[in-house]
Amino acid sequence: VASSRELVVLGTASQEPTRTRNHNGYLFHLDDVHLLVDPGEGTQRQMTLAGTSTAHLSGVLVTHFHGDHCLGLPGVVQRRCLDRPDHPLPLWFPASGAVYLDRLLHATATDIPLDREVVRHPVSEEGEVGRLGRFTITARRLHHPVDVVGYRLEEPPRTHLSPDALARAGVRGRAVGELQRYGSVVVDGRPLHVSEVSYTSPGQVVAVVLDTSWCDAAVELARGADLLLCEATYAEHEADLAERYGHLTAAQAGRMARAAGARFLVITHFSSRYHDVEVLVREAAAEFPTVVAARDLERIPLPPILRQEGASS
């Protein structure tokens, strides 16, 4: 499962892009779900450089309408239309930013009816806001000078048949298929329920916390996340700037991952003042050791799902 689940980093800059950091852009491959988060300026080309295609996109999440998180949207949507997708693109965004989405979709002269190519999901309430494949999308309001929405993607637990338990129970051949179809089967004159020979593994959870100062909603979003993608715009000695502009320091991102009980932290959205982001990784790691800095065009595998052998024999 893990091998087909990864984060493709398209951009890691905050307000100002640098020679090595494009504006924001994050593509999550979650099996057959291909989800683009915050297409900043240049995202279309970054996707080409990363060897990914707009044609297969399953959906887009926009956290907020500051330029570094959305100025690439018109290009991505226009590109995708030219690739003749088989379904319109669902797009989640903070409802109060509808006027900006309108302008972005009507930003240029084009024959493409972009309004029909996008299915709008304005987020006005916190809670579950939609589904993509096996994943439920939950939104929470974060804390920034404009309306910002953080997102959590969560899949339900999976049930697997345990080959060992099946062998011990003497279930083989056609009986395995029957067990899967009907939930129970008779073996040697005794009824056997599927729960006796199966185990459950938790579903995977991904959280996106982009552009916020410290808030409880962000911690809740990241609760138990396998991967927390979190902004870490500043180092600790610029904590006053972080507070003033509604951002996090790297140490705060680390503290957030720890408070949420996350498994893996990926920090991003770096101020252009940090040529080398190692200082940010160090400060985050002091709070939460399992952290990496996102780098443009890097592929980061999601940590594999923990398996819980729960089969009784």
| Catalytic positions, written as ranges | 68
Spatial neighbors of 173 by CB under 8 A, at least 6 apart, are none
Q: Is 41 in the site for Zn ion (CB under 5 A)?
A: no
Closest approach of Cβ 40 to Zn ion, in Å? 8
Q: Is 211 in the site for Zn ion (CB under 5 A)?
A: yes
Q: Please identify, using beta-carbon distances, which residue of 200 and 245 lies nearer to Zn ion.
A: 245
Closest approach of Cβ 13 to Zn ion, in Å? 9
Question: CA angle 128-290-299, nearest 5°?
Answer: 70
Burial of 276 (0-12, 13-18, 19+ CB in 10 A): exposed
Q: By CB under 5 A, what part of segment 72-91 binds Zn ion? A: none
Q: Please identify, using beta-carbon distances, which residue of 135 and 274 lies nearer to Zn ion.
A: 274
Closest approach of Cβ 210 to Zn ion, in Å? 7
Closest approach of Cβ 229 to Zn ion, in Å? 13
Q: Which of 42, 46, 60, 68 binds Zn ion (CB under 5 A)?
A: 68
Residue nearest to Zn ion (CB): 68
Q: Please identify, using beta-carbon distances, which residue of 14 and 204 lies nearer to Zn ion.
A: 14
199 closest CA partner among 155, 164, 250, 161 = 161
Which tokens is 129 given? 């806001």
| Residue span binding Zn ion (CB under 5 A) among the ranges 103-111, 155-163, 206-214, 235-243 | 206-214
| Residue span binding Zn ion (CB under 5 A) among the ranges 8-16, 41-49, 154-162, 235-243 | 8-16
Distance (Å, rounded) from C-alpha 48 to C-alpha 246?
Answer: 32
| Residue span binding Zn ion (CB under 5 A) among the ranges 64-72, 74-82, 110-118, 275-283 | 64-72
E strands, the chain, in order: 5-11, 25-30, 33-37, 59-61, 89-94, 118-123, 127-132, 135-141, 149-154, 158-161, 184-187, 190-193, 198-201, 205-209, 227-231, 265-268, 291-293, 299-301
Q: Please identify, using beta-carbon distances, which residue of 39 and 302 lies nearer to Zn ion.
A: 39
| Residue span binding Zn ion (CB under 5 A) among the ranges 10-18, 28-36, 101-109, 134-142 | 10-18
Coil, helix or strand at residue 208:
strand
How many angstroms separate the most distant Cα atoms in the chain? 73
151 closest CA partner among 198, 207, 112, 231 = 207
Coil, helix or strand at residue 219:
helix
Number of residues that bind Zn ion (CB under 5 A): 3
Closest approach of Cβ 167 to Zn ion, in Å? 54
Q: Please identify, using beta-carbon distances, which residue of 14 and 198 lies nearer to Zn ion.
A: 14
Residues lying near Zn ion in the complex (CB under 5 A) are found at 14, 68, 211
